Structure 1
Amino acid sequence: MPIAVGVGIIGNLLSICVFARREMIKFCVSILTIVLSLSDILLLITSIFNIVLPAYNHYQFADKSLFWCHFHGYFDLLFASLSGYSMVFISVERWFSVLKPFDKAKYITFKSTITTVIIYIIVSSIVCLWYPLILKFDPYHPDPNLRCRLLEKFRKIFTIFGTINVLFTYIVPFTILGILNSFIIHRLRARQNNSIRSTHSERNSSSIRTRTRQRQNTDRNITFMLITVALAFMLMSFPYQIYWFYLQISQTTSNKTLYTLTQTFRNLNCMINFFLYSATSSLFRRELKEIFHCCYLLSSSKSNSLPNTEQTLLPKDSVKLQKKNSNTITDTTSPKSLTKNGLITTKTENNHLLGECIDIELNNGSNNKK
């Protein structure tokens, strides 16, 4: 689990870097994928304090901190909700792109996308606010496991609001994703069959037709990538939903092993998105390679910057003398040039070595004058 959390955080950071690049950010859906990666990172960080550290160190942060007692569940619900609705609006954007391409420019703009993100962040923050209000923190309770506990008078409220919150966070996004992606997949299959027929009937190609085909291929590539991510979200978050409803119906205490297992399976969804992007999108892979290539060039330029700075930081007199000597030294085998300059030069001497020799000569001349 700790390895999965670390890999997930690094993978989502790389995903943000890729979707923020010029070739990707021109698509409105990239804003939603960036929000999805951020919410997944925050959800993984929350799982460190709620699952990873308690499992390995037997240290419950909720039993030690007043703040974490009230907000450990709030952050979990909030970031899971943001992740789910990011996936929903990604599928909505793809639905317009595939089924309503001529209406997409009217409804899906950068302004409307950012407004949508702000709205569902605010709504999710409000919907999850009930959770901190039903908990009590008692640092002096003799049982350490009961220092952060649910108040008995709010137990029925917990069941009602918990059910509403699970419906809002998981079931509603799950249902919308299933419906939208079914329409998208059906239309893509029909479009693929039509394109196969058209290629047999039309052999003439033009530059406009080629550009249109390239744009459609890029759009199809992004659609396939995001459908895969949506299906993974649905499958990997489903066990936790089933287990939560089972606990509410049976009114039994939570089994720590099953709870950790379902939570781990849900958090693996946050980790796997980067690998799904890489496996299903050639555009994502190309932009990722560009990032690594840029990092390599930056590191190599920094390593080569020291010799270049030493070469440029020559005294003014040395630069003048260097120019003078570069004009006089034309034949390396001439004894006249050797006696005049006191230096044995070759055609392979670079400017850096020549500058050092000039500095030595100037120092010797100043010592002789003294």
Structure 2
Amino acid sequence: MRIRYEQKQDWTSELLADKSWRMEMVNFTQSFTIAPNQSSSVNLLADSVRFHETFAPTGITIDRTISPILYVIGLSCNPLSAYIWLSRKTRRNNSSAIYLGVLSISHFIFLILHIFVELNVAWGIKTYNKQVSCEVFYAFYYIPQYLAPLLILGFTVERYIAVCHPFKKEKFCTVRRAFIVVCALLAFSVCLGLMQAYIWTFDPIYRDCNHREEVSRGGEASFVNVWTWTTELLMFGVVPLAALLFNILVIHEIKSLTNRGPAYQQPGSGSPMASTVTLLSVSFYLICTWLPATLVYSLQTLFFPNPYVSKEEVKDDPTWQRYFVYYPVRKIVEEITLSNSACYFFIYAITGKHFRDRVVAIFDVRRCSRCKHARQKKRTGDSKYYVAVSKMEHVTNGNTIETNV
């Protein structure tokens, strides 16, 4: 999820660094200037976590409670999803399995990196906020965020071709072509992510990660502003909307084929139709979890508090009160967006029979128990057979002897 940071020179220029639109509150707190005649001016305190614990405890509680649950779900279910989708049996004739398997790996990596961000934002524990590690961390942190929507758009387009242009399916919807497309999308995401190594650096004054001074010059027309708005609108605006458009076309075609009767449906459409339901569900879940985040981001300027108030005036200032209402709402939206990287496993299991059967096969305790019982029975039978053979008498040269085999 994207954590937003603000330029210290202009605190109203909130920039994105997490697709859930989470704001890096350390920089947020340090961006305020103390009024000349207000020695106790807010300056949001030196510790933003403590500040929000005092004035907006609900938001902090939401962050600290829900995120760990999503981590447990995502870090346990995503590897299992990747194992099932990328297994030879599943991906042999299913090009979409390549996209879904890599998507699960991407979400797994992102959740691991997001833990470090969460420690910084929600708990005030700094981990990656050091020389060099700032650049390296944000380069890797952005790559899976860029890759996920591209993968979803990739298999959405593929499903559109399979349903709406079935005669081109054999050419464009192959496992080999899916592998090539995934590699191309990964390379594109890496190129975009590496730009963050240039944008971010360690700020020795604030002892935290911040934008480089040279990319922050120019205010609204600065390089970091232009780059951020361009990439964010492209990856988290245009791409989901494009996926939505292709989904609508697919649904329209399926409805049209259904109304025409069985004669017009594609041969062997049972399995492809089930796969289409799974892919449509994944795509729509992406859209439904990201659109609220986009809305929250677009409205954030309405809730910027007045920095020139004293600590005592915060509780009575109307702008600050609106911010304290906005903050927990934003946290709820962030957790909904974070669930996008943790909960696809349940969509796969509910909508995909093959996926569900594989999960049952992996965790079928009864079958394992039957197998264990069969092995024990076999060993018992072998033992009895061994005893019986050992007591067999054989005649050699007219003499009777007991032979052990």
Q: Given the alignment, which residue of 211, 214, 217 partners 1:150?
A: 211
Match for residue 108 of structure 2?
41
Which of 269, 272, 278 in structure 2 is aligned with 1:219? 272
Give, in angstroms, the shift of residue 223 of structure 1: 0.2
Give the structure 1 partner of residue 296 of structure 2.
Answer: 243
State the match for 2:338 in structure 1: 267
Tell me the distance in 1 between the aligned counterparts of 2:161 and 2:361.
Answer: 30
Per-residue Cα deviation, 1:277-303 (whole angstroms, up to 9, x for no partner):
11122232122222223x765687679
Does residue 134 (structure 1) correspond to residue 134 (structure 2)? The answer is no
* Closer, same or farther: CA 299–35 of 1 in aligned 2, 3 Å: farther
Indicate the RMSD between aligned Cα atoms, in angstroms: 3.6
Aligned residue identity for 1:111: R
Q: Is the Cα–Cα contact under 8 Å of residues 128 and 165 in structure 1 kept in the other structure?
A: no
Asked whether the equivalents of residues 75 and 111 of structure 2 are also in contact (C-alpha less than 8 Å), the reply is yes
CA drift at 1:19: 1.6
Q: Give secondary structure in 2 for the equivalent of 1:148.
A: strand
Separation in structure 1 between the aligned mates of residue 147 and residue 302 of structure 2, nearest angstrom: 26
Q: Which residue of 1 aligns with 2:90?
A: 24
Q: Is the 8 A contact 2:199 2:212 kept in 1?
A: yes
Is structure 2 residue 368 aligned with structure 1 residue 289? Answer: no
Post-superposition offset of 1:217: 1.0
**What secondary structure, in the 3-state scheme, does the structure 2 residue paired with 1:137 have?**
strand
Secondary structure of the corresponding residue to residue 61 of structure 1: coil
TM-score, normalised to structure 1, is: 0.71
Aligned residues: 307
Among residues 127, 141, 163, which one is paired with 1:61 in the alignment?
Answer: 127
The one of 86, 97, 100 aligned to 2:165:
100
Where does the alignment leave 5 or more consecutive residues of structure 1 unmatched? 200-208, 314-318, 329-340, 342-357, 359-370
Q: Aligned equivalents of 2:379 and 2:121: distance in 1?
A: 53
- Alignment equivalent of 1:232, drawn from 262, 285, 302: 285
Asked if the contact 1:12/1:41 (under 8 Å) is kept, the reply is: yes
Cα offset, 1:164, TM superposition:
1.3
- 2:219 paired with 1:176: no
Task: Give the TM-score, by structure 2 length.
Answer: 0.65
Do the aligned partners of 2:138 and 2:200 also contact (CA within 8 Å) in 1? no
Cα displacement (A) at 1:247: 4.9
Quick one: distance in 2 between partners of 1:33 and 1:300? 33
Question: How far apart are the structure 1 equivalents of 2:199 and 2:122?
Answer: 28
**2:44 alignment partner in structure 1:** none
In the other structure, the counterpart of 2:19 is none
Distance 2:184 2:158 in 1: 16
C-alpha distance 281-267 of structure 1, shift in aligned 2 (>3 A): same
Mapped contact 1:95–1:180 kept (Cα < 8 A): yes
- The answer to which structure has the higher helix fraction is 1
Which among 158, 161, 174 is matched to residue 227 of structure 2? 161
The residue that corresponds to 2:142 in the other structure is 77
> Who is 1:123 aligned against?
188
Corresponding letter in the other structure for 2:253 = R
Q: Which moved more, 1:99-108 or 1:18-27?
A: 18-27
Query: Structure 1's 226 and 324: CA in aligned 2 closer, same or farther, altered over 3 A?
Result: closer
Aligned to 1:355: none
Asked whether the 8 Å contact 1:36–1:86 carries over to 2, the reply is yes
- Is structure 2 residue 389 aligned with structure 1 residue 323? yes
Q: CA deviation at 1:227?
A: 0.3
Offset, 1:264: 2.1
**Does 2:350 match 1:279?**
yes
Change (3 A) 1:56 1:242: closer
